[in-house]
Amino acid sequence: MTETPSALVLWDIDRTLLYVGNIDRQVYREAFFEVVGRPAERLPARGTGVTMPLAIRSLLRENGVPASEVPNLLPRIAELLPRRLADHMADLRSEGVLMPGAVAALRAMRAHIGLVPTVLTGNLKPNAILKLEAFELDQFVDVEIGGYASDNDNRPALVAISQNRAQAKHGTTFDRSNTVIIGDSLEDVRTGLQGGAAVIAVASGTTPAAALQRAGADVVLDGLTDIQRLMNALSELFSPSERL
């Protein structure tokens, strides 16, 4: 083991670490109704991994909101989403589920002195933290150095944001040679390829393993239950000087 952090691990949240079922969609419904004044007939697609601001834009446009009104309504809905999700904390705990192997995988990485685990997610930061706290996963990741949709609605841009935050905290330069994203969607793969991180794709969401492989993921796993395979994959991805 190394004595100083040598690798940054960026965890996706939804369908990689946990699944909240229809709660996110209910929150979108409530916020849309409160801001627009009528029910939403169409909701954002499931499991795509797009950032919340882009999902809100789609929600507004696909429900007949004129383009000229979107710039005003979008930030109002974004401001409401964390509040409405907080109202559903009990539902998160009772209806949401942890993905198999998630806690063991997080615990193994947190225990490794060479790894800096955080999150990179399409969630707004308050929403991300609420989900992690609901399942007591916040103890395993450094949420302050993560990348969130609150920072930028272009998900690949979040890689550099998190790398810079981790570098400022730990004094280590993080780039593609020592940064990896672990996620379940094509958007996670695109984020790594365009943002500057290796990608371990986990076929735990709506995207099949073959599609994740074709999209360019460096490693594709069926799930997180094989901890040794996951840790071996991490080691194989890093340059020789950064090997775990």
At residue 197, the pLDDT reads 98
Q: Judging by beta carbons within 10 Å of its beta carbon (0-12, 13-18, 19+), is residue 3 exposed, middle or buried?
A: exposed
Q: Where residue 1 falls among pLDDT bands split at 50, 70, 90?
A: very low
pLDDT tens digits, one per residue of 51-101: 999 999 999 999 999 999 999 999 999 999 999 999 999 999 999 999 999
Mean pLDDT of the 20-49 span: 93
| Comma-separated ranges of CATH 1.10.150 domains in the chain | 23-94
Which of the listed CATH numbers 3.40.50.1000, 3.40.50.720, 3.40.190.10, 1.25.40.90 matches domain 7-20+96-242?
3.40.50.1000
pLDDT tens digits, one per residue of 207-216: 999 999 999 9
Residue 74 amino acid letter: L
Average pLDDT, the chain: 94
Of residues 225 and 47, more confidence is placed in 225
Two tokens at 177?
């040679």
Q: Where residue 46 falls among pLDDT bands split at 50, 70, 90?
A: confident
Q: Where residue 241 falls among pLDDT bands split at 50, 70, 90?
A: very low
Q: Where residue 244 falls among pLDDT bands split at 50, 70, 90?
A: low
CATH architecture entry for 23-94 = Orthogonal Bundle (1.10)
Mean pLDDT of the 185-211 span: 97
What is the DSSP secondary-structure string of 64-106? Answer: T--GGGHHHHHHHHHHHHHHHHHHTHHHHHHH-EEPTTHHHHH
Residue 113 amino acid letter: I
| Comma-separated ranges of CATH 3.40.50.1000 domains in the chain | 7-20+96-242
Of residues 159 and 113, more confidence is placed in 159
Using the predicted structure, report yes or no on whether residue 2 has a pLDDT greater than 70: no
pTM (2 d.p.): 0.93
At residue 3, the pLDDT reads 52
CA dihedral 167, 99, 23, 123 (to 10 degrees): 10
Tell me the C-alpha distance between 179 and 197, whole Å.
Answer: 5
At residue 176, the pLDDT reads 95
Rounded to the nearest angstrom, the gap between the alpha carbon of residue 196 and the centroid of all alpha carbons in its chain is 16
pLDDT tens digits, one per residue of 97-150: 999 999 999 999 999 888 999 999 999 999 999 999 999 999 999 999 999 999
At residue 53, the pLDDT reads 95
Of residues 6 and 221, more confidence is placed in 221
